[in-house]
Amino acid sequence: MQTNTHSGAGSRPVARHHRRRRGLAVGAVTALVLTLVSACGGDDADAGDGQTELTIATFNEFGYEELLDEYMELNPDIKVVQKKTGTWEEHRDNLYTKLAAGSGLADIEAVEGDGMPAILEEEGAFVDLTDDSLEGRWLDWKSDAGTDSEGRMIGYGTDIGPEGICYRADLFAKAGLPTDREEVAALFESWDSYFDTGKKFVAELPDVAWYDSSKGTSQAMINQLEFPFEDEDNNVVALENPELKEVFDTVTEMQAAGLATNMDQWSNDWVASFKKDGFATMACPGWMLGIIEGNAKGVEGWDIANAFPGGGGNWGGSFLTVPTQSEHPEEAKALAAWLTEPEQQIKAFAAKGTYPSQVEALDDPVLLESTNAFFNDAPTGAIYAERAKAVTMQPHKGPKYADLIQAFQAAILRVDEGQETPEEAWESFSADVERIG
């Protein structure tokens, strides 16, 4: 991520890559080939009493519950209904299916950052949200990621995901490791030091994994690669990338060494493991704080270190889009614009820890001075401000990125679950790349 001093109110770059219209690839989830029809009627309707009903579909924790109530108080002619799913994957499948069907989408659909490249490839499926009055609202790289090759802004940025490491201080103490945030941060300076500390931890507590999942850790490592799967012209180069192979080899080796759980991130077993002392650390973007607190309700000992192996990384962050299926596109656009104002994003951060992508919000005292009681009163605002400044680049994400990383992580999961050896899993991944590419 660029620091906020590098993000001004200047003109927004467009046509960053030479995109080819390939359609939404859904990879291992489904073999749908989408034929999108613009301006198809959704299932919105008037809410009665002269109100217009708007639906907004989100996933995980956006921190919008109180904000939507506030919006309805400010706009008594609008009724807003939130449709919320637990994961991006579940939300994505619904989004793609209803895009293919030509109806059924919400007036506002949230899209995770990894999914935006494919969304931007689909002309006519989403409303152009470009508004000169919003110029400079977002960090440049965030607004770029929501803008298509013709300069149309398709997504309004919500949050970004600068990463720290969340850890169980109580489990650290049992393993004889430091618990103080500054001392713990020194253990996480590099991936080597992070994994070496993990080996010491599991030697002391062999029934507890060092980190939550190979999937999450591999994602965090990939976030530090400039061209993990596709080059700047969107050619698939995954199998020729030695850095990607190194991530695969490292994560599978650490699994064999007992550092990782054998669980799929976001699975029911993964959720349950938070209350069962299943693991001690995890890569932790700001939006993860609310998820940890929800999954680990009643568990004491969580904390967060102002450090991330290898420097900095950004994981995730989402956008709000308005499908052309919406019967109320102007009202939906107005709601999306309001939800992504700096003031509202500060409130969302206070509610769920979603770190804002809006330039003005980054210097807000509410953000910088905020603490999180669940994480041992950690100064999360100041920590994530530092973590955001440590991000120096974003991985290039072409239109096939989402399918390629899904195939990569599926291969790693097969190793975790004992279905394949690392060598077999890499061969399977190679076959998937050839199919996707």
Q: State pLDDT tens for residues 68-88.
A: 999 999 999 999 999 999 899
Count Cβ atoms below 10 Å from residue 296 Cβ, excluding itself.
18
Residue range 224-250: mean pLDDT, rounded: 97
- Tell me what the mean pLDDT of segment 219-230 comes to: 97
Identify the CA nearest to 283 among candidates 251, 313, 261.
Answer: 313
3-class DSSP state of 70: helix
pLDDT surpasses 70 at 216? yes
3-state secondary structure 91-104: HHHHHHHHHHHCCC
Find out whether 338 and 351 touch, Cβ atoms under 8 Å. no
Percent residues over pLDDT 90 in the chain: 82
Average pLDDT, the chain: 89
Q: Which CATH superfamily includes the segment(s) 4-160+315-376? A: Periplasmic binding protein-like II (3.40.190.10)
**CA distances from residue 132 to 9, 144, 145, 202 in whole angstroms, order as listed:** 11, 15, 17, 54
Residue 344 confidence (pLDDT) above 90? yes
Burial 319-356 (b: 16+ CB within 10 A, else e): bbbbbbbbbbbebbbbbbbbbbbbebbbbbbbbbbbbb
Neighbouring-strand partners of residue 168: 302
What is the per-residue DSSP string for 113-126?
Answer: GGGHHHHHT-TTSB
Mean pLDDT of 195-216: 98
CA-wise closest residue to 403 among 125, 120, 122, 115: 115
State the pLDDT confidence band at 393, using cuts at 50, 70 and 90: confident
What b/e string do you get for 360-378 counting C-beta neighbours within 10 Å, with b at 16 or more? ebbebeebeebebebbeeb
pLDDT level of residue 48 (50, 70, 90 thresholds): low
Domain residue ranges of the chain, discontinuous segments joined by +: 4-160+315-376, 163-314+395-436
- The token pair at 188 is 């996480």
Put simply, whether the predicted model's pTM sits higher than 0.85 gets the answer no
How far is C-alpha 303 from the geometric centre of its chain's CA atoms?
21
- The whole-angstrom separation of Cα 23 and Cα 32 is 10
Q: Which whole number is the average pLDDT over 254-272?
A: 96
Which is more confidently placed, 61 or 26? 61
Res 290 pLDDT > 50: yes
User: For position 316, what pLDDT does the model report?
Assistant: 87
Q: What is the predicted pLDDT for the residue at 40?
A: 37
The one-letter amino acid code at 74 reads L
The mean-pLDDT minimum among 30-34, 214-218, 297-301, 349-353 falls in: 30-34
258 within 8 A of 202, measured Cβ to Cβ: yes
For residue 205, give Cα distances in angstroms to 147, 173, 277: 48, 11, 11
Q: How does pLDDT run across 132-173, given as a tens digit for each residue?
A: 999 999 998 899 999 999 999 999 999 999 999 999 999 999
Distances (CA, A) of 294 to 22, 185, 288, 346: 38, 24, 10, 20
Residue 32: the pLDDT is 35
Query: In this model, does residue 420 exceed pLDDT 60?
Result: yes
What pLDDT score does 271 carry?
96
Residue corresponding to tokens 């090759």: 149
Helix (H, G, I), strand (E, B) or coil at 401: helix
Query: b/e per residue, 262-285, with b = 16+ CB within 10 A?
Result: ebbbbeeebbebbeebbbbbbbbb
- How confident is residue 37, by pLDDT bands cut at 50, 70 and 90? very low
pLDDT at 339 over 80: yes
Nearest to 171 by CA among 269, 278, 256: 278
Tell me the CA distances in angstroms from 53 to 42, 65, 82, 352, one per residue in order.
12, 16, 11, 25
User: 3-class SS at 293?
Assistant: helix
Spatial CA neighbour of 175 closest among 224, 209, 145, 141: 209
**Which of 160, 164, 131 minimizes the C-alpha distance to 145?**
160
pLDDT for position 26: 38
Mean pLDDT of 337-341: 98
Q: State percent of the chain over pLDDT 70.
A: 89
Choice between 393 and 313, residue whose per-residue pLDDT is larger: 313
Q: How much is the pLDDT for 23?
A: 43
The secondary structure element, H or E, covering residue 209 is strand 209-211
Residue 179 has pLDDT above 90, yes or no: yes
Pick the closest to residue 136 from 13, 9, 2 (CA basis): 9
Q: In the prediction, which pLDDT does 8 show?
A: 29
- Domain 4-160+315-376 and domain 163-314+395-436, same fold? Reply is yes
Class of domain 163-314+395-436: alpha beta
